[in-house]
Structure 1
């Protein structure tokens, strides 16, 4: 039996459609529209896309108690 090596280079997209953004967040599109507070970016041609970095920050904020939040609170107390 012959064998082969396959090398795949996957370049993830940074800007997602609403359906892709909902899938990225693990939410149905209808729930994503209601729950997600991330504003899409409007491209010059009018297309709306969601930035993966903004979506990830929103998801992280749902978990609460991140160290960066704690550091921010401590810095305000000083």
Structure 2
């Protein structure tokens, strides 16, 4: 019997397009645009990207300030 090895390297993205950033935060793009105070980074002209670390800090702040326990409570605090 032959054994085959598959060596896969996965690089986790740090910068997200708006649709990816919204999905990462669990929001629809229209809600993300309305609620998210994080400013995108212009790495090159026409390429505004959201830093995952900035998104994490925003979410952590919302969670820490809210004391919310449910998904709906957290979403309400985002606004």
TM-score by length of 1: 0.70
Match status 1:58 vs 2:58: yes
Task: Name the Cα RMSD after superposition.
Answer: 1.8
Specify the SS of the correspondent of 1:9: coil
Residue 29 of structure 2: aligned partner: 29
Structure 1: 5+ residue stretches without partners: 66-78
Specify the SS of the correspondent of 1:48: strand
Q: Across the two proteins, how many residue pairs are aligned to each other?
A: 65
Runs of 4+ in 1 over 3 A off after TM superposition: 2-8
TM-score by length of 2: 0.69
Residue 49 of structure 2: aligned partner: 49
Shift of 1:8: 3.3
